[in-house]
Amino acid sequence: MSDRPWNDQETELLKTLVETTDLTFEQIGKRLGRTKNQCIGKARRMFLVRKTEHVSRAPRKEAKKKPVRHEAPPPILVSKEGCRWIEGHPERGKPVEFCCEPIERGSYCAEHAARCYLSDVRSSANREALKRSGIGRSTA
């Protein structure tokens, strides 16, 4: 095929073939002695519109969608008066449970508040809770 410039006769023939026939750009290119991509490029630059869309490839098959299972976890009942420290891990086979000891600070008992609010480690109540839980004990 050639890289020669388009002449007026080729341009008019391209316009006629694109707008009035169902020929593919490959077939039009063969008639004009041009490549498919040269014909597509020229047609786009001329803003030519096909009256019928020609699809040169087979339609794509839709992938089968796997059904998505949305199982809601069972509701966890939490007492407003008990510590809300979560124990257990369902993905590791351990059921989710809560500490439920009486609340001392925020939503936690003294022991778990000491773990959560580390900025208060200096207070005597938290120091005692840390000692009871084993956190903060030196191993030396």
C-alpha span between 40 and 51 (Å, rounded): 15
Does 81 reside within a domain? no
Does 62 reside within a domain? no
pLDDT of residue 56: 57
Does 73 reside within a domain? no
Inter-residue long-range contacts of 110-113, CB under 8 Å, 24+ positions, other chains counted? 112/83, 112/85
pLDDT of residue 6: 94
pLDDT of residue 29: 94
Question: Residue 52: what are its φ and ψ, rounded to 5°?
Answer: -125, 135
* Environment class of 57 (CB within 10 Å of its CB; exposed 0-12, middle 13-18, buried 19+): exposed
The whole-angstrom distance between residue 15's C-alpha and the CA centroid of its chain comes to 44
Which residues of the chain are under the pLDDT cut of 50?
139-140
Q: State the total domains in the chain.
A: 2
Does 32 reside within a domain? yes
pLDDT per residue as tens digits for the range 28-59: 999 999 999 999 999 999 998 876 655 556 66
User: What domain range includes position 33?
Assistant: 8-45
Cα 16 to Cα 1, 3, 11, 128, distances in angstroms: 21, 21, 9, 92
